[in-house]
Structure 1
Amino acid sequence: MNITPIAHTYPAELEEKLLEIARLDAQLDATVPVTIREAVEDLLRVVNSYYSNKIEGNPTKPSDLLDLNDDSIEKKSKGLLEIKRHIEVQLKLNFKDNDPEEVTSQDFIRKIHEAFYDQCDSEELEVPNHDGSVIHRIEPGDYRTIDVIVGNHRPPKAEEVPAYMSWFSSEYKIKYLHGLRKYWAMAASHHRLAWIHPFLDGNGRVSRLFTDCFMRAIGLKSYGLWSMSRGFARSSELYYKHLAIADRARQGDSDGRGILSDNGLVSFTEYFIDVAIDQMTYFTNLLEPYKLEERINVYFQLRFSGGLFDPKTKKPLKKLPLEAKDIYKTLLYYGPHTRKELQERLQISERKLRDIISEMVKEQLILAPPKRQLHVLLSPRAVQVLFPYLFE
């Protein structure tokens, strides 16, 4: 093909930043106890979905996320349904258990697209062409069959897409990426997939979901405890600017070997790595166990005193007994418990425990299926205290 998978050379300063990513990855992976990892990853799926869709113009506010799992709300907004669908796609794709060698395959990338659009209403599958004169239909999982224009970018012609995607699948196959190449490829593959623009719509979301999988596949063990989409969304103008820089044609013989600029790809790679370091640093500080425990104590003290307010209604949240804190911390730090185990560990009467659990379930603080172990949840209602600035 006439494009290259990574730049021919990268500056030494970027190699130093890759070492910082490796250090932060090990630190964050070791920081978060196994008992809370699943709850954090559940929350991060919401974070990932919120920010990835925000990049695409989704107007959902952080306070609206409280309605995500509220079954009493029959008609949710289009934006909220889009986020909910994005979360379900992450669960369906089961990033953690993906075969690393399949992540870059055409089948897998098409599966991402299909999973996102498969549950859409018919009208959501209709998109106009660039001048609005013709309506085209999205076919979930199928490559586009028409030529498109995306801003100033003219992606490859429709008939060229299968060949480009075959090239993509081969060049970024994990087993062929040795040494630093796999780290350069995490940024390069994100841009190249966006540049090819294989689908009629949804390419941005698919590219970011692909990158989530790719980051895990190359061995970043902490990925899932932090999110590239959050970093992209918080600097969306720079995100699009650097993608556009990487779209530039090669500027002479010293600017790479393909039709695209090596210097442009290096610029995007530096931006990508800086975003990764920023997000890893933020989440490492956020999830530091002692600081997290302090915020848990503050949250439940505020709930006990009636000092927290619903972000939507602005009314005080219902008070919780102080024992709720002990239940929450036990489940968070020691893992799932049965009701009997909690009763014995915390020396709480059966009736009182039942009443507290009922209130905590309503507040989405715990999951308590009948006759099964209780699990901790990271409720959107608690996020403003437990994870400050997460949705800002």
Structure 2
Amino acid sequence: MILINLYFFISAKITYNNFSCFVKVVKVDITPIARVYSPELEEKLLEIARLDARLDATVPVTIRESVEGLLRVVNSYYSNKIEGNLTKPSELIALVDDSIEHKSKGLLEIKRHIEVQVKLNFENNPREDVAKQDFIKAIHKAFYAECIPDELLVSSSDHAKFYEIEPGEYRATDVVVGQHRPPKPDLVPAYMSWFASAYKIEYLHGLSKYYAMAASHHRLAWIHPFLDGNGRVTRLFTDCFMRAIGLKSYGLWSMSRGFARSSEQYYRYLSIADRPRQGGEDGRGILSDAGLVSFTEYFVDVAIDQMTYFTSLLEPYKLEERINVYFQLRFNGGLFDSKGKPLKKLPLEAKDIYKTLLYNGPHTRKELQDKLQVSERKLRDIISEMAKDHLIFAPPKRPLQVRLSPHAVEVLFPYLFQ
């Protein structure tokens, strides 16, 4: 799929037989995907498909929702870290545990980011809408909707002027991002119309959808449609796009984690893809095809690295070993909460309850009692302590379900925030 030289109408005055109308033709001369044949790159794209199938099959259905909930936190942490948010993992775990009364600006920013991800669930947003202008505007609006007025002000580079962010609206002023000068504000609607057409899901087949996942990330960042928040919006869009093209495991791993762990490379390769075309053999659009190829290769390498890491992390046998370690530490009284207080000891039967719910799904209290051969009173006491520690959901008169406790994250999922 190659779409270039698309024309969009904005505004200009035309008069004919005393009838006037405003029409402006804007030529958008950009290649939407890297036009290159590379056996090495195509093999990596096929590896993404293989890893996707493997990871999707690895995670038990019983914990998928909990893992995806945890990964929304991870995604928010890393996406905001790229933008300079210095929130510490310990603060983040306390945020999830809801044990912080007065949340800092950084924590509130991450909290909003998590909430936006929930809103972007495809149960409410059809996959074919992912590249549409209204959808991308909705991402921006959702992120800024709850901000207080002071948080909606940004200053010019020389701090001489202040501009107000309008949630969900394109910028009305020129901006400069490092060495990059994005399109003039009056051209942004035309570029975003091109974007919606170029990355329409129905047009993407075979390996082109994998090329598009990288290219669309750069092109949206290059257009820079909003006054502020473009980085976060672009990464949230990419999260949605990855799911829309059929990566079933996405949500169990995070591109933002990979970008943040190689942030200098991330910005460098985005900048390389910003370069204008370098002569007649560097594509047909206004931007360098070689630059887009370089960014695509970087993007694909990050995806494979993160998929490999999370596949290993969630591999059932290794996960079970870490579960055993966690509950042995709890039995010995060797773990502490986010405030440094020792966690209450748990009997070893708690491990059996956790594993039963993890691998076999929800159970009633009576089913657990029969399976584990413990007294009703002892089971009730253990369930009460596990529920307090967010290890299980234990609603009255309903089956028990496993959940991922903030206290357990560092043991069950090592290096997640490193």
| Segment of structure 1 superposing worse, 215-224 or 355-364 | 355-364
1:340 is matched with 366
Quick one: which amino acid aligns to residue 380 of structure 1? P
Quick one: which amino acid aligns to residue 171 of structure 1? A
Match of 1:318 among 344, 361, 366: 344
For the pair 1:273 / 2:311, whether they are aligned, the reply is: no
With over 3 angstroms needed to count, the CA separation of the structure-2 counterparts of 1:370 and 1:119, relative to structure 1, is farther
| CA positional deviation for 1:71 | 4.4
Match of 2:55 among 5, 22, 28: 28
With over 3 angstroms needed to count, the CA separation of the structure-2 counterparts of 1:66 and 1:254, relative to structure 1, is same
2:178 is matched with 151
2:328 is matched with 301
Aligned 1:1-392 pairs, distance under 5 A = 1-71=28-98, 73-95=100-122, 98-310=125-337, 312-313=339-340, 315-392=341-418
Distance 2:262 2:133 in 1: 29
What does the per-residue CA deviation read over 1:290-344, in whole Å, with 9 as the maximum and x for residues that have no partner? Answer: 110111011101110112234542x432211111111111111111223333233
Distance 1:119 1:94 in 2: 19
Matched residue SS, 2:163: strand
Aligned length, in residue pairs: 391
Matched residue SS, 2:154: strand
Distance 2:217 2:412 in 1: 32
| CA positional deviation for 1:68 | 1.4
2:7 is matched with none
With over 3 angstroms needed to count, the CA separation of the structure-2 counterparts of 1:254 and 1:279, relative to structure 1, is same
Distance 2:68 2:126 in 1: 19
| CA positional deviation for 1:97 | 5.6
Distance 1:135 1:322 in 2: 59
Contact 1:96 1:216 in 2 (8 A): no
With over 3 angstroms needed to count, the CA separation of the structure-2 counterparts of 1:57 and 1:241, relative to structure 1, is same
Contact 1:303 1:319 in 2 (8 A): yes
Distance 1:108 1:373 in 2: 37
Contact 2:63 2:403 in 1 (8 A): no
TM-score, normalised with respect to structure 2: 0.90
Matched residue SS, 1:232: helix
Matched residue SS, 1:68: helix
What does the per-residue CA deviation read over 1:249-274, in whole Å, with 9 as the maximum and x for residues that have no partner? Answer: 11011111111110100000000000
Distance 2:66 2:127 in 1: 24
Distance 1:68 1:352 in 2: 31
With over 3 angstroms needed to count, the CA separation of the structure-2 counterparts of 1:311 and 1:70, relative to structure 1, is closer
With over 3 angstroms needed to count, the CA separation of the structure-2 counterparts of 1:226 and 1:16, relative to structure 1, is same
Contact 1:338 1:372 in 2 (8 A): yes
Q: Structure 1 regions of 5+ residues with no counterpart?
A: none
Distance 1:344 1:132 in 2: 69
Distance 2:140 2:62 in 1: 32
Contact 1:65 1:380 in 2 (8 A): no
* Aligned Cα root-mean-square deviation (Å): 1.4
Q: Structure 2 regions of 5+ residues with no counterpart?
A: 1-27
TM-score, normalised with respect to structure 1: 0.96
| Segment of structure 1 superposing worse, 27-36 or 355-364 | 355-364
Matched residue SS, 1:293: helix
